[in-house]
Structure 1
Amino acid sequence: MSMHLGECVLVDGDVRGGGLDMTCGTEHVPGLRWPDLARLRGTTSCSRLIAALPRGEVPVLSAGGRGAELLPSVMLDVVASLRREVPVVIDCPGLTGVVEALVEEAEAVHVVSGLQARQLADTEALLADLSGSGVGLVTRSSGSLGPEFDEVLDHLGVQHLAHLKADARVRRDAERGEWPGLRGPLRDSADRVVLDLLDYLGAGAA
């Protein structure tokens, strides 16, 4: 299996969870999950690892829903091996020790937040533990942003990257075992965020 130009690997940052492959509709696809890599030590072959991962729109390294017991060093070594050759996107539910280490090595960190009071309070607490010019905020809700959000954004003190409106097709796709968000407003917003991220990373490399 060969990688396409510009392709990335999607990595599950919650190794004890139910599995990012459930969200991506690839839980039925054979391939390696985090529990299968528990004995790895040091660097490994990026191309061989990617070829062994289940694949949806991109290769996915998921928790697998088996309550993996992984040494933090294993997760860090695997991600480091992947990052040597391809872009890596890590989905993290929150900060843990190993996630903090991954964040420190990240080129960019995108925090996704709802707009309810508790959600914004949780986001503020999370942002307080993050630093760097690569940290940005993506909001989501059932409606559009009101003018009062400018005050919230000023208070949070972080760049607002995009607002995603709820799209019923995403949940429907996930229930059907399909990769969610391949069409509709979510895809359009995601494409714009990714293009902006590529511009940011390109500027940083210049």
Structure 2
Amino acid sequence: MSHSIGSLKTNNYELRKSLGELKEEKERLTAEEYTQLKNKQIAIETAQTTQNKERNRLEKELTETKNLLHEIKQKLALVETDKDKIKEKLEKLESSQVKPAETETVAVKSTDVREREKDTEMSRESLIKETQEERKSSLVEDLLDKAIQLYRQGKFEEAIAKWEEVLTLNPGKLEAKFNIEIAQDRIKERQKQEDLKSTLIQRK
């Protein structure tokens, strides 16, 4: 009887031990599964964040491309308008030429025609030059406007590039030279602030 009770106690102890081990194993597996699920969730969130950034970048590039196409269309429209103006002026010039008198000799007529052709060619060149100057002036104003916008956005390097384009078209544009100097000073100030911030971070 005593032997049977001792055997039962031993069996009971072993059962409790096995039950405890099973419980620990269950908790360990649950923790591992939780960790795996958590890692998967983090990976999914990271992938979604990356996709959102890429989508935003593509949308921004698409918008910039659309704006660029719009600007190109506007410039093409201006070119077509300029061509029509030149054609109209040339037609007026040609129609305003005085016909030679019938009593003139062939030699005089030939000389007069050559003179008129020369005048017409000079007028054509003058008109083309005048139109080119107008287009250049318009382009300079556009570049100045874009440079100011970039400067206000804090994009000093890009603004300087636009002002340099202005100086290429019109070297005597003092406004562009003055603004370049101001933008360069702002770049230096920003660099100093960044250096100071970096120094403070390193000290911490």
Tell me whether the two structures share a fold, i.e. TM-score over 0.5. no
Give the number of the structure with larger relative contact order, counting CA–CA contacts within 8 Å between residues 6 or more apart: 1
Higher strand share: 1
TM-score (norm 2): 0.22
